[in-house]
């Protein structure tokens, strides 16, 4: 039996301690069929307190164990089962705060037990999407302050900081959709009882449809969460799984291309598609590659300078964090680079107008399609303005912004 000894590092301090309490081991399986023979031991001060803990079936389970302040918590993982990539786990303290997380590959270090003495508050956090306008709002409804008399509310989306002293609902936003989730943090006077809520943004990603496909260049790796993607309707590769779109372009010279989803945390399928978005022709398909649940597809582009579309699906409805990479000499570069400090652009995707603003005077804005052809060129000489994009064909473009002699390049999706 192969065993890998793991331990967790926990940098966690407390103003108060209560000596003894219960910690929780949360066992997770991304596919929902249990841990398939894998297991974990929880060890406190050298003594096994949970022996061969596992998830027999389903997507989540819980085990508790007792600790005393200062105890050293380590873990031994048995990875002799199958489908290792589906397995993960979290360690929660006595007020259900995450103090450690891992899987069968990562090698964290030691957790030092710390029992929390404050009483956490409680809140309900909901997200409402205005997807047609590329916006969403958040409602924070505080139902209990616990020991606190106020919460400072912050998000990972912008520099918002708002202090709430009464129970009830508070509206945050609207925000522009640029990610698939938002994290809302409520910090009381006793930071040990901070509340953190992560919520999905109920709008599909910009490359949910073929018309919004994102370009991949040689050696480029892109990360994306596809949890909000809608089901595929092309029938290429799978039947109705959540899907997102990418493309590669050979610039007119036939090129051998390899597309890989290695590093993704869910079961993927890749399909290549030629033609245009209105006349799609299914090409090659790959499900599992190299003995993993992730995919790898190698094909030769036609050498016509036309896009070859890459459809990435979740097998059996699986979703999660996608990592996709492309290799191929001669592929056109389509990535973002050289961004300007203080520059913002919204909404993105946009249908009629693209709003741009900068901390200094914007001299010029040029818009290029992904073949490198300039389709718009506008002199602004202002810190904020609107770009009329209503006549552009739906799809992906690069926006080149010049301000004080510096140039930034940004990806823009025309709906």
The answer to whether residue 336 is domain-embedded is no
Q: What is the pLDDT of residues 396-409, one digit of tens each?
A: 777 878 887 676 77
Domain boundary among 62, 87, 112: 112
Residues 6+ apart with CB under 8 A from 47: none
Say whether both 97 and 141 belong to one domain. Answer: no
What CATH number is attached to the domain comprising 350? 2.60.40.1220
Say whether both 95 and 74 belong to one domain. Answer: yes
- DSSP assignment of 395-410: EEEEEEEEETTEEEEE
Q: 139 with 126: CB under 8 angstroms?
A: yes
CA–CA dist 358, 366 (Å, integer): 15
pTM score, two decimals? 0.47
Q: What is the pLDDT of residues 77-89, one digit of tens each?
A: 999 999 988 899 9
Of 1-10, 223-232, 379-388, least confident by mean pLDDT is: 1-10
Say whether both 242 and 323 belong to one domain. Answer: yes
Say whether both 50 and 158 belong to one domain. Answer: no
Say whether both 288 and 386 belong to one domain. Answer: no
The answer to whether residue 148 is domain-embedded is yes
CA–CA dist 37, 39 (Å, integer): 7
Say whether both 100 and 136 belong to one domain. Answer: no
What CATH number is attached to the domain comprising 220? 2.60.120.380
Say whether both 75 and 97 belong to one domain. Answer: yes
Of 121-135, 152-166, 245-259, 362-376, least confident by mean pLDDT is: 362-376
Helix (H, G, I), strand (E, B) or coil at 193: helix
The answer to whether residue 337 is domain-embedded is no
pLDDT at 312: 94
Closest by CA to 224, choosing from 242, 250, 197, is 242
CA–CA dist 389, 384 (Å, integer): 16
Cα angle 181, 313, 208; round to 5: 55
Say whether both 12 and 65 belong to one domain. Answer: yes
Domain boundary among 200, 235, 264: 200
The answer to whether residue 371 is domain-embedded is yes
Q: What is the pLDDT of residues 266-282, one digit of tens each?
A: 899 999 999 888 888 99
Say whether both 181 and 130 belong to one domain. Answer: yes
Say whether both 12 and 98 belong to one domain. Answer: yes
Say whether both 222 and 309 belong to one domain. Answer: yes
Domain boundary among 152, 182, 200: 200
The answer to whether residue 127 is domain-embedded is yes
Total domains present in the chain: 4
Q: Which of 222-226, 327-331, 384-388 has the highest mean predicted lDDT (pLDDT)?
A: 384-388
Residue 370 pLDDT > 50, yes or no?
Answer: yes
Q: Which domain holds residue 24?
A: 3-112
The answer to whether residue 174 is domain-embedded is yes
The answer to whether residue 351 is domain-embedded is yes
Q: Which tokens hold the place of 208?
A: 């949910």
What CATH number is attached to the domain comprising 178? 2.60.40
The answer to whether residue 105 is domain-embedded is yes
Say whether both 214 and 250 belong to one domain. Answer: yes
- Under the banding of pLDDT at 50, 70 and 90, the label for residue 373 is low
- DSSP assignment of 122-179: EEEEEEEEEGGGTEEEEEEEEEE-TT-S-EEEEESSSS-EEEE-SSEEEEEEEEE--S
- DSSP assignment of 203-222: S--TTSSGGGPEE--TTEEE
Mean pLDDT of the chain: 84
Q: 261 with 270: CB under 8 angstroms?
A: yes
């Amino acid at each position: 039996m192969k065993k890998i000894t793991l331990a967790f590092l926990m940098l966690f301090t407390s103003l108060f301690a209560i000596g003894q309490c219960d910690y929780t081991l949360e066992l997770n399986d991304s596919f929902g069929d249990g841990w398939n023979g894998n297991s974990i031991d929880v060890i406190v001060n050298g003594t096994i307190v949970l022996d061969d803990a596992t998830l027999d079936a389903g997507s989540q389970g819980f085990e508790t164990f007792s600790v005393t302040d200062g105890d050293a918590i380590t873990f031994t993982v048995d990875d002799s089962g199958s489908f290792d990539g589906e397995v993960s786990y979290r360690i929660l303290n006595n007020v259900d705060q995450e103090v450690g997380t891992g899987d069968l590959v990562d090698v964290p270090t030691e957790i030092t037990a710390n029992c929390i003495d404050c009483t956490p508050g409680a809140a309900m956090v909901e997200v409402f999407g205005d997807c047609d306008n590329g916006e969403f709002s958040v409602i924070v409804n505080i139902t209990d302050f616990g020991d606190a008399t106020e919460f400072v509310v912050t998000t990972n989306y912008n520099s918002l900081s708002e202090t709430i002293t009464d129970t009830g609902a508070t509206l945050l936003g609207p925000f522009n959709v640029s990610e698939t989730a938002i994290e809302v943090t409520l910090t009381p006077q006793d930071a040990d009882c901070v509340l953190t809520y992560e919520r999905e943004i109920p709008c599909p990603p910009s490359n949910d449809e073929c018309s919004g496909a994102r370009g991949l260049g040689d050696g480029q790796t892109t990360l994306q969460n596809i949890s909000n993607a809608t089901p595929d309707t092309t029938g290429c590769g799978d039947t109705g799984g959540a899907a997102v779109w990418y493309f590669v372009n050979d610039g007119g010279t036939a090129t051998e291309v390899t597309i890989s989803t290695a590093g993704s945390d869910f079961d993927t399928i890749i399909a290549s598609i030629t033609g245009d978005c209105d006349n799609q022709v299914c090409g090659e398909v790959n499900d599992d590659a190299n003995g993993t649940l992730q995919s790898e597809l190698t094909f030769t582009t036609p050498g016509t300078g036309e896009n070859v579309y890459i459809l990435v699906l979740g097998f059996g409805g699986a979703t999660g964090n996608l990592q996709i990479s492309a290799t191929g000499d001669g592929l056109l570069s389509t990535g973002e680079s050289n961004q300007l400090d203080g520059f913002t652009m919204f909404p993105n995707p946009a249908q009629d107008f693209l709003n741009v603003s900068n901390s200094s005077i914007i001299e010029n804005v040029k818009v290029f399609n992904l073949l490198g052809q300039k389709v718009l060129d506008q002199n602004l000489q202002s810190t904020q303005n609107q770009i009329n994009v209503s006549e552009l064909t739906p799809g992906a473009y690069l926006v080149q912004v010049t301000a004080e002699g510096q140039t930034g390049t940004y990806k823009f999706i025309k709906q």
